[in-house]
Structure 1
Amino acid sequence: MGDCCRDAQPFRLCSGLRFLGYIMILLVFAIVAVSYYAVIVVAWGPQLLHGGLLSILAFVIVLLFHLLLVLLLWSYFMVVFHDPGAVPVGWQPASKGTYSALENSVILADHIAIDTRESEFSSTEGSGRRPSIRYCSHCQNNKPPRSHHCSVCQRCVLKMDHHCVWVVNCVGARNYKFFLLFLFYTFLETVLDSLALLPHFIKFFGDARNHSGSPGNLAVTFLSFVLNVAFALSLLCFVVMHTSLVLSNTTTIEVYEKKKAVEWKYDLGKRKNFEQVFGSNKLFWFFPLFSKNDLHDVPALHGLDFPTHSDIEV
């Protein structure tokens, strides 16, 4: 969702997307509430008191449900409230001397063929002569590598992946890990809910025919099962897609750009690519947190500096 919204009508659409995001947050909590009621209150919570193997199975399901729910919500809140990273005002490349004349020409003529000039700068990327310097005509600011302008957030986002209406926020360099963990734990939760509710879903049809059981509980169980199966199948596609993107060190926006490249310069190997998003400390990989060492030693987590093939070779 890059540099769009150039006139009044799309701007209204972008504002509508932000409002839609708040509705999505309520929808997330509604789905969690329905699933909790169906799995814990109706299906497996009462089984804890029966004793025997069934009680042990119920304890395992209830424990896993709450563990995944905590990790899911923790990751979700981190995506919603954590800044993906915005381009600092007046940002300049690290080596300023080589580009001073070029930067001045862009600033003085920012209303004249900006897009043409930007494409010319980008064409030098990978040639070995100098890195590209891009300029955002909306923010009136230079853009670091891999950053893009979000028309919903109205700013340039560092290593922007996409704007997600489900979290009312952009997914970028500083919260991409949290977004991936949210996808992963939500997928596991929906799979667990689907398996836990499957016997009760099958039993639903017998109870419906015999008019036994509470109609409200039957309806909630049926609805929760269908929702969880649908979300599990949908999330599986997203988990597979983003796993592929992480292992190739590519964002959703960069997929097309990568196809045109002979060799993707940010691809440092699967292990290093993974660490560019999750850090190198294994203890923090499955939690929406970064260690102090990773924040200090992995520049890509800050979204301004990204190692490339040439850096590794040197």
Structure 2
Amino acid sequence: MYRSGAVMAWNVFRFCTALKGLGSIMILLVLAVVGVSYYAVVISNYGPGLVAGGLDSLVAFFILILFHCLLVMLLWSYFSCVFTDPGVVPPNWRPAGDEERGDSDPLTASEFPADSENSRTRFCRKCNQLKPPRCHHCSVCGRCVLKMDHHCVWVVNCVGALNYKYFLLFLFYTFLETSLVTLSLLPDFIAFFGEGEISGTPGSLATTFLAFVLNLAFALSVMGFLIMHISLVASNTTTIEAYEKKTTPKWRYDLGRKRNFEQVFGMDKKYWFIPAYSEEDLRRMPALQGLEYPSKPDLVAQQF
């Protein structure tokens, strides 16, 4: 029995290690898809269209400008998510007691099973430390992550409090970019199968076909993933919490759609669609730092 448990733990460790290695491959895969798409749209199709003259040049110019703008935002959001630490528990962290609120940790036993004998304080036995509210342990990273959503192999990183916005923007711009590439290459794709003849070298035709199929597949898959995360943001819930709170009648972090959105994207509208936060938002919104979160009981207490 003990030997079986040891083998299982060892296999899980190897699986987590494999995920880290897989992530590096995923970054190369993302860059490869970007490269194929760039070659098909810019070099093979619409780049030469700039010198065609007339309406074709105008259409090519518009598509190329939009393509490059979306590509910049996609890569900016992607690498911001890759290189931004999702948030770790500070050394010797302790919950700040709030006598007026009478609650040191928003995650009470009525919402989630306590990790320790103290129903108000959650404890990670793997890290041997207290856990802030909405914090979970990642087996791949081997540490507790603030407001952990999931570990994403595509970004070789956990998605948590400090990079969740960047991850959502990456999904958003990926959907727009892949949809644009799919639509811009659709006429060539239809012409190839409809007429059987289309100008271009065999290499450029193969690249156009591959880019169309890849971008169509990514657009459809990312659209479903994006819709799911939009619903999570609307209810101020992470992927992990959405699974764990199925038996919870009321979710105390649901502050209404507007405030839920601000808990992820901030209050400064100028920063909503770029992977960054204003200094003012970081100062006045503790939730963006991943350690403190307003909840419904807090709002009730403020009224008194």
The alignment's TM-score, normalised by the length of structure 1, stands at 0.86
Q: How far apart, in 2, do the equivalents of 1:210 and 1:292 lie?
A: 56
The residue aligned with 1:49 is 51
Measured on the aligned residues, the alpha-carbon RMSD in Å equals 2.0
1:308 to 282, 295, 298: 295
Q: Structure 2: which amino acid aligns with 1:29?
A: L
Q: Structure 2: which amino acid aligns with 1:215?
A: P
The residue aligned with 2:265 is 278
The residue aligned with 1:87 is 89
Gaps in structure 1 of 5+ consecutive residues: 98-115, 123-131
The residue aligned with 1:71 is 73
The residue aligned with 2:223 is 236
Q: How far apart, in 1, do the equivalents of 2:29 and 2:164 lie?
A: 22
Q: Structure 2: which amino acid aligns with 1:164?
A: C
Q: How far apart, in 1, do the equivalents of 2:38 and 2:198 lie?
A: 24
Partner of 1:118, secondary structure, is coil
Q: How many residues align?
A: 284
Q: How far apart, in 1, do the equivalents of 2:174 and 2:199 lie?
A: 32
The alignment's TM-score, normalised by the length of structure 2, stands at 0.89
The residue aligned with 1:289 is 276
Q: Is the 8 A contact 1:204 1:222 kept in 2?
A: no
Q: How does 1:140-159 map to 2 (within 5 A)?
A: 140-159=128-147
Q: Is the 8 A contact 2:188 2:198 kept in 1?
A: no
Q: CA deviation at 1:6?
A: 7.4
The residue aligned with 1:118 is 115
Q: CA deviation at 1:54?
A: 1.2
Q: How far apart, in 2, do the equivalents of 1:268 and 1:301 lie?
A: 15
* 2:196 counterpart of 1:199: no
The residue aligned with 1:220 is 207
The residue aligned with 2:234 is 247
Q: CA deviation at 1:8?
A: 1.4
Q: How far apart, in 2, do the equivalents of 1:292 and 1:163 lie?
A: 27
Alignment CA distance shift 1:286-1:212 (3 Å): closer
Q: Structure 1: which amino acid aligns with 2:69?
A: L
Q: How far apart, in 1, do the equivalents of 2:90 and 2:19 lie?
A: 25
Q: Is the 8 A contact 1:85 1:173 kept in 2?
A: yes
Q: Is the 8 A contact 2:191 2:198 kept in 1?
A: no
Q: How far apart, in 1, do the equivalents of 2:98 and 2:118 lie?
A: 15
Q: Structure 2: which amino acid aligns with 1:268?
A: L
Q: How does 1:98-117 map to 2 (within 5 A)?
A: none
Q: Is the 8 A contact 1:34 1:220 kept in 2?
A: yes
Partner of 2:239, secondary structure, is coil
Q: CA deviation at 1:50?
A: 1.0
Q: CA deviation at 1:259?
A: 2.0
